[in-house]
Amino acid sequence: MARIRLIDVAELAGVSMKTVSNVVHSYPHVAPALREKVQAAIDQLGYRPNLTARRLATGKTGMIALAIPEIDHPYFSELSRHMAEEATRRGYRVIIEQTLSDPDLERAVLIDREAGLVDGVIFHPVRMETLDIAKLDAGTSLVLLGEAAIPVMTDHVMIDNVSAALDATRHLVASGCRRIAFLGVIAADITGSTNQRLLGYQQGLLEAGVRLDPELVFTALEFTAEAGLRSVTEAIERGVRFDGVVCRDDRFAIGALKALHDSGRSVPGDVAVVGWDNTFLGAYTSPTLTSVAPKKTELVAAAFDLLEERIAGYRGVGRHLIVGHSLAVRESAPHTP
């Protein structure tokens, strides 16, 4: 079953390849009669242009790569969905690369990108350091997401983590919490995200005239609900008292909800809980989860805008965009009446 080529259609229709190509591309200056004849040949043979060949000829692949740590992390799977939809809207296809937070895989993404496979890359680094990225960002189209690394020359989109954490903390303060914990600092995590969120949290306490009690900064071992559960359970067992928790991540928040539930605390009665990322998980818990909500569609649109400008030839310094956020208020930390 040999594939039908442009030339096969051309022969059947008795015209040149270019004319067939013109029909395929809806080039205006083709005589209606000819166009019809060619179209008939196309239909008859079931011709589909070979995209690989087209790519080689045009130099454009029409494809962008989205490199994220884990496909099945709710935040990233939602992000992927938005990316896929935005890409379709803009005429691109998305190829998803899972880096698993492995520095080598992350590096591979940046190197492969140059292999002419994709026109650009949207990359959410976790482990690669600023300088490392700067070194590999060899002038091709790249947009970074998140706060892990921010090379000056590279475009970058994020939310204002400090102010978001501040909002979350203020929300808890407003509903009467005074002993507010922060979950979770990760031993192995040297990314800026946690630090910034912690900073906003401190600022919120300061504003409320509450002193930060180091005992209330909970540490987790890894980014899982399980680790969050363990961390909160241990705090409870240590006798730490708290009436609110700002969680660095929805999964931590879910672990926290479970820990509180298992230890007989009511949420939000005894402890109010705020998560982060506003993933769909939060809608499924009991109680439902209040969560910091990055404006994902804005973020996706901004990332694409920057990327397309790069693809179009922009070679200037990196643009660093902040997109909005809000607080999705649900049962675990409701509005004050």
Q: What share of the chain is helix, strand, coil (3-state, %, to 5)?
A: 45, 15, 35
**Integer angstrom CA distances of residue 28 from 31, 133, 150:** 9, 45, 46
End-to-end CA distance of the chain: 70
Output 286 or 297, the one with its CB closest to a copy of itself.
286
Distances (CA, A) of 182 to 177, 235, 292: 13, 12, 14
Q: Which of 6, 15, 281, 300 binds a copy of itself (CB under 8 A)?
A: 281
Residue 143 CA to its chain's centroid (Å): 11
Q: For 169, which DSSP code?
A: H
The only residue of 159, 165, 225, 236 in contact with a copy of itself, by rule CB under 8 A: 225
CA distance 111 to 121: 11
Site map 284..323 versus a copy of itself, x via CB under 8 A: xxx-------------------------------------
Closer Cβ to a copy of itself, 2 or 188, answer by number? 2
151: left (phi over 0), alpha (psi -120 to 50) or beta: beta
Q: Which of 93-101, 169-177, 189-197, 205-213 is the region at the interface with a copy of itself (rule: CB under 8 A)? A: 93-101
CB of 278 to DNA, least distance (A): 42
Contact call for residue 25 and DNA (CB under 7 A): yes
Q: Mark 104-143 with x for binding to a copy of itself (rule: CB under 8 A) and - for no binding.
A: -------xx-xxxx--------------------xxx---
CB 132 within 8 A of CB 154: no
| Residue placing its CB nearer to a copy of itself in the complex, 209 or 313 | 313
Alpha helices in the chain (DSSP H): 6-13, 17-24, 32-45, 51-58, 74-89, 103-112, 130-136, 161-174, 192-207, 225-238, 250-262, 281-284, 296-311
**C-beta of residue 319 within 8 angstroms of C-beta of residue 259:** no
Nearer to a copy of itself, 90 or 93 (CB): 93
The rounded distance, in Å, linking the Cα atoms of 219 and 235 is 10
Nearer to a copy of itself, 94 or 299 (CB): 94
Amino acid letter, residue 280: F
Residues 37, 170, 258, 319: which binds a copy of itself (CB under 8 A)?
A: 258
Cross-strand partners of 220: 186
Does 90 bind a copy of itself (CB under 8 A)? Our answer is no
In 10 A of CB 44, how many CB atoms? Answer: 12
Under rule CB under 7 A, residue 95 binds DNA: no
Among residues 50, 266, 286, 297, the one that binds DNA under rule CB under 7 A: 50
Would you count residue 84 as binding DNA (CB under 7 A)?
Answer: no
Pick one of 46, 59, 264, 316: the residue that binds DNA (CB under 7 A). 59
- Is 85 an interacting residue with respect to a copy of itself (CB under 8 A)? yes
Binding residues with a copy of itself: total (CB under 8 A): 51
Contacts with a copy of itself, residue ranges (CB under 8 A): 1, 3, 46, 48-53, 55-56, 61, 63, 70-72, 74, 77-78, 80-81, 84-85, 93-98, 111-112, 114-117, 138-140, 225, 251, 254, 257-258, 261-262, 280-281, 283-286
